[in-house]
Structure 1
Amino acid sequence: MKSKLLAGVLALGLAAPLAFADDEKIKVLSRNVYLGADIFPVLAAAQDPDPLAVPLAVTEVFQTAQATNFPERAGALADEIVSRKPHVIGLQEVSIWSTQIPGDFLIGNPAQASDVVYDFLEILMANLEARGLSYEVAASVDNADIELPFVAGITAEGPILGDVRLQDRDIVLVRKKVSYSNALSGNFTVNGVVDINGVQASFTRGYNILDVNVKGADYRIVNTHLEVGGSEPFKSLQAVQMNELLQIVDATSSDTNPIIMLGDFNSDPRDTPFVSASGIPGLDGLPLVPPYLQATGTGYGDTWLMQDKIRGEGLTCCFDDAVSDETATLSSRIDHVFLKLNGSELERVKVKVLGDSSADMTDTSNLYPSDHAGVFAKIRFDD
């Protein structure tokens, strides 16, 4: 894979309140809705020789996904959308959880699990409709599709193994009367692959790109969810994915319409360039630039820092896995709304972090809407 290395300049700043007149041109929201559990314990269990290590770890992950109760959290997410009414919403981790009991994983998984437990998109859309809002799926991409065994029950003879399947999607919703065209969705060329009990599980990531027209003005919208950062090989993967995304956007976009690029980039403004030690052929020893710096180094402004008044840090990640700890605090800013003006004159931008306070927790089970905060931006251009 060809890699054009990108550089950027880190801009530092504080946070801002949201205040705006009602004549803003476009309102956008980026929201990682949280698949419901941390799946990394399964990867750790894959290193354990005990044949039940993976099923037990998967069982715990699935139980956590049920306990974090997306149907309830979806109501809180829908309330956020009702209060802001964004024209465009970029969603990440729009999951489908399915089961198959008894499972067939141990005999080669000839049939995929298809008994749907949760379809996050269907649940969220029903909540929006119940609140009188009309949104349409304008773009969708299927990402990781992973099926593994779990303990579905216990008998005198031993555990009953079923299969649980997790399907991941990135989706763009547009509000009623917002026209859209030229939708392009896809998966990145390079993704993380992990061996789990002899099965090569690909943690595929993706993106959505489309044009929207809001109040007579055209915009290019990009939504994505990059690989996690931190350690190798993940931070190298996310750098390569961002590089690919920017090249695709550049090759498929007009140079006259503003580009609004939003999503969970898993990259904080404090990230710094590094030399890859990922073990991935062709990358080891190469200097790489983290996604945030790639964006700001190629003409995209960080809308959080483009505000007239900046107050606070705008942190978006992450609450505890159970999303139930009222004392939990956010520690990084990895969800962003980037803006490339392409010659347009910006009049004002206002950005607000949503769902970042214990006051935003659900009434019944006391859950945060997600393990991430959302990023809502109002952007107005000079006519």
Structure 2
Amino acid sequence: MTRNVYLGAEVGAALALIPDMPAAAQSLWDQLRATDISVRAPALAREIVAAKPDVLGMQEVASWECRAGLGGSTVVFDFLSLILDATRAAGVPYVVASANGSEARNPGYSIPAIPFVTMVHDPATFQPLFGSDDAACGFSISDVIAVRQDRASSVRAAGAVDYAETTALVPVIMVVPRGYVWADIEIDGAPTRFVSTHLESFSSPGEVPPSAIQARQLVRDLSETSMPLVVMGDFNSDPRDPRDPGANPGEQPVVSEACPAQDGSEPSCSAYWTMVGAGFVDAGPDSADPANLSWGGAADLAGPDAARLDAARAMGNGVGFTDRLDYVFASNYARIVTAHLVGEGWPDGAGMWSCGTRICMASDHAGVVARLAIATGVGIDRPPGPENSRPWGLIFRGGAFALALAIVLVIVGVRKLRRDPIR
């Protein structure tokens, strides 16, 4: 099962408020509180427990931290703990896949809590923690592979790898890394390599999307894997990409001189077709069917995004989703049996929750659940990819002072954004 759990806020909307850093930070925090992870975590757990997958890949697993002064930061909202605790409370506990001192968790993009800069006002939250009405807050997001607790002892190896291709929203100052996590798990006598990733959502007009470049590395890194292989995640790539701007409400990569129109198999600017071209089988459900689109929820999760609803319906998606971004791929000795979406049926479904007088989604994405038949009698391969260098998620050279010096560059970078950089 793959599930983008949504970090709880639209980063692009907050970045548009820069250079007013406190306003940007407050925007992120207010969105986070409105999309209440303490309520969403049990909703996500209901979906997970209903599907009861052996292996669960999650993206945008956020950790929000705050500090009242110059001292250390305090974790205020830990998505991973909340979701895993909720699965335990629901009767089917999950744990992070780990073995030999390594775990399948890869911290990536982050905005640090910078005193006097990323300031947030929330007396109800901060008074019990800090004795203050205000605090500096920030977040980081991770990719994680979790396993059902009864499978925890079957994890033979685990790790994380960073992609060489990063996205510089502001050169040197604001760099967004991506990567993947992996775990070799023996399920009923069948060793299988599971990989979960979240490819870059941002792309610049006229250039090859970073997601396609990252997918090429993923394919290279896995090319020597001979054991059964399952790759899942948010690929930020629709089979129709790149496409005509007029048929692109989700602002996916568009046709340009560098990126020719998609003919149904062209991989040069498509992460999806890079995977398929490398021999990976899309588990489905049918990614060409508009009913199976997996992204388009509103930032506040109160249903589909109203700005794209008419376009979604014109495509044939009655819920309001406009793009297929989430997949499970299989290769080698892993054979697809069935697949279905979860979280796509707003306002109905196990993952829905009451947000005031409205019904909200558990995430702005749908998830994919796939059942596979795995061959036995295959050995375990060497770990994939190069040694992980673990770059920082959001690199600040010189701390808050460097950030202040970079405000003009940030403004330029924000104006160039075509879409939310985290999706």
| TM-score (normalised: structure 2) | 0.69
1:197-217 residue CA offsets vs partner (Å, 9 max, x unmatched): xx8122221201221111221
Partner letter of residue 355 of structure 1? G
Aligned to 1:183: 158
SS at match of 2:241: coil
SS at match of 2:297: coil
CA distance in 2: counterparts of 1:217 and 1:224, whole angstroms: 22
Aligned to 2:341: 353
Q: Does 1:43 align with 2:15?
A: yes
Partner letter of residue 141 of structure 1? N
Rate the CA distance shift 1:131–1:235 in 2: closer, same or farther, 3 A.
farther
Q: Does 1:150 align with 2:118?
A: yes
RMSD: 2.8
| Structure in which a larger fraction of residues adopt strand | 1
Aligned to 2:169: 194
Aligned to 2:327: 336
Give the conservation status (yes or no) of the 8 Å contact 2:55–2:145. Answer: yes
Aligned to 1:76: 43
Aligned length: 318
Partner of residue 243 from structure 1, selected from 216, 228, 242: 216
Offset, 1:291: 0.4
Aligned to 2:87: 128
| Structure in which a larger fraction of residues adopt helix | 2
1:321-368 residue CA offsets vs partner (Å, 9 max, x unmatched): 00013676111100000111x2x384x521111011211321454321
Q: Does 1:170 align with 2:143?
A: yes
CA distance in 2: counterparts of 1:202 and 1:301, whole angstroms: 32
SS at match of 1:294: helix
CA distance in 2: counterparts of 1:202 and 1:229, whole angstroms: 12
CA distance in 2: counterparts of 1:189 and 1:88, whole angstroms: 26
Partner letter of residue 39 of structure 1? V
CA distance in 2: counterparts of 1:330 and 1:313, whole angstroms: 9
Give the conservation status (yes or no) of the 8 Å contact 2:56–2:145. Answer: yes
Q: Does 1:371 align with 2:357?
A: no
Q: Percent identity?
A: 30
Provide structure 2 residue ranges, at least 5 long, that are not aligned to the other structure: 98-103, 123-132, 243-254, 260-266, 310-319, 377-423
What pairs with 1:196-215 in structure 2 (closer than 5 Å)?
A: 200-215=173-188
CA distance in 2: counterparts of 1:371 and 1:339, whole angstroms: 25
Aligned to 1:34: 6
Q: Does 1:86 align with 2:62?
A: no
CA distance in 2: counterparts of 1:263 and 1:345, whole angstroms: 17
Give the conservation status (yes or no) of the 8 Å contact 1:274–1:289. Answer: no
Aligned to 2:381: none
Provide structure 1 residue ranges, at least 5 long, that are not aligned to the other structure: 1-28, 105-110, 155-159, 278-286
Partner letter of residue 370 of structure 1? S
Partner letter of residue 99 of structure 1? C
Give the conservation status (yes or no) of the 8 Å contact 1:321–1:371. Answer: yes
Give the conservation status (yes or no) of the 8 Å contact 1:229–1:235. Answer: no
Rate the CA distance shift 1:87–1:274 in 2: closer, same or farther, 3 A.
farther
